[in-house]
A and B are shown apart, each in its own frame.
Chain A
Amino acid sequence: MTEEFEPKIVGFLCNWCSYAGADLAGVSRIQYPPNLRIIRVMCSGRVDPAFILEAFISGADGVLIAGCHPGDCHYIAGNYKAQRRGILLKKLLEQFGVEPQRLRIEFVSASEGAKFAVVVKEMVEDIKKLGPSPLKARVEVEGLIHA
């Protein structure tokens, strides 16, 4: 099929800031490409590395984790922990041959609808450049797809 590659991105958004930010983007009718699939978590600290790997294995071309700005975390410091894990995880992904740019960690506050849209736009463009996730290819070849 000749149609342009449209990456699938899985986004983990914390309930208190980033999810609200995404809401605001919508409310303010700020347009961004429809490639993101949002999963709401109470706190970005909840995002287990396993979820992220799972996303890639399931065929995601990119993963976004968005949490409150430092200091804003509804749970005091969950967002820091997410941040720290993210950095480690990028290294890990490289081991798997997944470009670290496919994982993006962002602070998006409830008032940053515009920023949220920008983040998604950028990510979609970046990943379009990278092409489909190598992991996805492998997964399909090795037939590890979850029924």
Chain B
Amino acid sequence: MEAKQSVLIIGGGIAGIQASLDLASRGMKVYLVEKTPSIGGRMSQLDKTFPTMDCSMCILAPKMIECFRHPNITLLTYAEVQEVKGSAGNFRVKILKKPRFVDLEKCTGCGECAQHCPVEVPNEFDMGLGVRKAIYVPFPQAVPLKYTIDDENCVKCRLCQRMCKAGAINYDQPPETIDLNVGAIIVATGFELFDAQTRSEYGYGKYQNVLTSLEFERLLSASGPTGGHLLRLSDGRIPRRIAFIQCVGSRSLKGGVSYCSSACCVYATKEGVLIREHNPECEVYVFYNDLKVFGKGFQEFVNRAKNEWGVKYVRALPGEVVEDPKTGDLTIWYEDTTENVTKSMKADIVVLCPALVPRVTSKELAGILGLELDEFGFMKSRDPLFAPVDTNLPGIYICGYCQGPKDIPESVAQASGAAARAAEAIVAAGKEAH
């Protein structure tokens, strides 16, 4: 496939997946690079999606498989971009493929190896709430469904090698550098969570029953560490009241980021509704400042959460959360700003909604690509109004959360946008050639 007709896409989340499918299905060659062992990104970690309550994996998995099956898409998972040279129409790219120590050709994903692996480590996919083995797939629906030995934790007992009937285990697998020649590049590296520990007044990391929203999402998920049973991690008790705290590190001129993460108010509402579904006995309180309901169907969703599901909203950002060391119960101190009284509330679980921030690695990646970042580390649009997916460099485009806060549909639409621009660039390059 000649360079002009192929595109490199960095990041295998929903944005990267959508961009890949758009370009591949119009006949262009796509190299989809993902640094973890599986594509799927953040969306694969979600239980349901707002405001429709779609099961996230149900709607995502088919797209993941489509990527895997598509003749025009080459998946480069567990790989990272090392070097980029050249310009629009003709980029020369070096990709580092980290060793999985498992032969992708031979591995059938049967899982026999993991069944027998003696090493258990916290599972990144479950935000460390669950455990995985040292040889693992991040999650059951992983794509590709191929195992990976995580070198740091492997004890080299060789049990997996003995168990693997396909003989796929190869401890001596070397790292591999792949040279690509592409006409355009799309960056879709997504986001991560602001470290909630920096807001020490909420006791995250100190109190077991203070969780981040993504940890809680896993706790709710049928495929999560408790198999979808809503329990307190400290004592396995069924919670009677759960409180969400918004803006942990977002909209902050100090100790955080100054922007609004855009998704938290509504996903907290979603998680609130899920709690009430799981257990109508369990009260839900959402502590917020300004309820961000700007998206399509958001306000209606919040209304339903209030009226049909009895999710309660309090306009206040609590001052602090204190644990009773004996019971593990939490006391939240806050001023109800619409009732103008400062009071406390007991809760069994407190869920923090931390700011969503660009990947820490995006700085390094931007360096490799020569892209400009804004003050927050988001990839900078050439013109935030009329060229949102363009960057300072022709031929390199951005989409999804790495360009700025947005929800799934916005990321999907923008991913297609980036695909369109990439296609334009390639068409243009084609014209020049003739």
Chain A residues within CB distance 8 Å of chain B: 16-17, 20, 24, 27-28, 68-69, 71-72, 109-115
Contacts and interface: CB of A to CB of B under 8 A. Distances in A.
Q: Provide the main secondary structure of the chain B interface.
A: loop
B54 A111 contact: no
Contacts of A20: 58, 61
Contact of B228 (A68, A71, A72, A114): A114
A109 B55 CA distance: 7
Contacts of B61: 20, 110
Given A24-B140, A111-B221, A111-B222, A72 B54 contact: yes
A113 B222 CA distance: 8
25 contacts: A16-B62, A17-B55, A20-B58, A24-B140, A24-B223, A28-B223, A28-B227, A68-B58, A69-B53, A71-B53, A71-B54, A72-B55, A109-B55, A109-B58, A109-B222, A110-B55, A110-B61, A111-B47, A111-B55, A111-B57, A111-B58, A111-B222, A112-B222, A112-B228, A114-B228
B59 interface: yes
Contacts of A110: 55, 57-58, 61, 141
Contacts of A68: 58
Interface in B189-232: 221-223, 227-228
Q: Provide the main secondary structure of the chain A interface.
A: loop
Contact of A72 (B47, B58, B140, B222): B58
Nearest to B229: A114
Given A16-B58, A68-B58, A111-B57, 14 more contacts: A17-B55, A20-B58, A69-B55, A72-B54, A72-B55, A109-B55, A109-B58, A110-B58, A111-B222, A112-B55, A112-B222, A113-B222, A114-B228, A115-B222
B52 interface: yes
Nearest to A27: B140
